[in-house]
Amino acid sequence: MDKENIPETADEVAPISFKDLGLDDTILRALDEKGYEKPTPIQVEAIPYLLSGRDLIGGSQTGTGKTAAFALPILSNMDGNQHDPRVLIVEPTRELAQQVIEQLELYGKHRPAKSVLLHGGVGYGKQKDALKSGVDIVVATPGRLLDHISQKTLTLKNVKVLILDEADRMLDMGFMPDVRRILKLCPKKRQSLLFSATIPPEIERLSQSMLRDPVQIKIGGGRKPAETIQHNIYPVDDRQKFDLLVALLEKLDYHSVLIFTRTKVGADTISRWLDETNHGPVGVLHSDRKQKERDKSMADFKSGKIEILVATDIVARGIDISGVSHVINYDIPLHPEDYVHRIGRTGRAERSGDAVTLLTAGEMQYFRAIERFIEQEIPLQKLESFDYNWSPLFAKLGQPKKKKRNRGYVPQSHY
């Protein structure tokens, strides 16, 4: 049993077993082999409804066992093989899609259901071959899914269950027109599930057109970061951000650090600078990187081969990397929800983690928005040993104003 993977709120559940929820024996066997002892709260709530065919709208945080909450009843209800897919799971990113298929394969190992993963950035050949030989479950990102449909290598006319995961993320990424096209291509008579951390008006409208009398489930208090996370905010002058990052890395007792930047160029630059200053090997993950590189960075980071991964928000949501010791926001996120998602990569499953954020003078408004969003005041702090340039933010620390030269690393180029 991988105890470290037990989602944070699992212990609050009354002693209800997976068997009590009515799951099929083949699924129970797989769960037993995986070592899951009991269902998490969202699983207890959602599984009976989903087994009975109800629609559902879920606001559950990732890390709560959300994927299994929908994967287990779907697999349990699946019988016999047909050629065209009966279950469609749409994910905003390739990494999330990959993660879902891994869980489906794990829980469905004693079941004859066949799953296929369809995402961009890789060739069509293998995906077409898999579709040709018949599949039960498709897990896909929107663009590649529509490509297959237009090439007539896939039809959605037999879909009985449609799952839209991380819908607000799809909205942010501009996928809503694709999502609406996909909905139109599925039969009207179907079971539909929609998961979204936040419900902006566009998702609200989507849910009204997509769902019939849905059960609403919200677990994990969307805004609340895990209590095991320590928030550390370091004001710094713009020109000293990289120096402070290096000083912090040198001070931190880290074994796996995720560093978030706002832009793809930023992620490339920071990783290159870290390499140049002998902090490598460093992995990079953003949407302009080739799929092979993305897979390799993720695999190397997960296995501990590399200790630092620099990424854009593409990995902030949902990605399940257990044991991240520190999340560093090199650039403060502009949307407070993204702060919660980013730092949610650490402190998972009751492990303690540290979240470090660099804050420059022009970004105070974003910091205040985060404080309001998570309903918590976070004190600003300074790294004792660091030779700071003066920043107006230090006034908020009650520090004397003093100006120092930037003596640190001078990068070859700026981003």
Q: Which residues are at the interface with ligand AMP (CB under 6 A)?
A: 5-7, 36, 39-40, 43, 62-68, 320
Show the 3-state SS of 384-406: CCCCCCCCHHHHHHCCCCCCCCC
Query: Cβ closer to ligand AMP: 40 or 141?
Result: 40
Q: Is 257 helix (H, G, I), strand (E, B) or coil?
A: strand
Query: Cβ closer to ligand AMP: 41 or 266?
Result: 41
Query: Cβ closer to ligand AMP: 195 or 339?
Result: 195
> What are the C-alpha distances in Å from 212 to residues 53, 137, 207?
11, 22, 9
Torsions phi, psi for 165 (to 5 deg): -100, 145
The DSSP letter of residue 133 is T
Query: Cβ closer to ligand AMP: 61 or 297?
Result: 61
Gap between the Cα atoms of 244 and 386, Å rounded? 7
Query: Cβ closer to ligand AMP: 64 or 115?
Result: 64
Strand order of the β-sheet with 161-164 is: 115-118, 137-140, 87-90, 161-164, 191-195, 56-58, 215-217
Gap between the Cα atoms of 212 and 188, Å rounded? 10
**Nearest distance in Å: CB 144, ligand AMP:** 22
**Nearest distance in Å: CB 345, ligand AMP:** 11
Query: Cβ closer to ligand AMP: 67 or 127?
Result: 67
Taking the chain, what is the end-to-end CA distance rounded to the nearest angstrom?
A: 45
Both tokens of 223, joined, read: 């805004």
**Nearest distance in Å: CB 42, ligand AMP:** 8
**Nearest distance in Å: CB 104, ligand AMP:** 11
**Nearest distance in Å: CB 125, ligand AMP:** 30
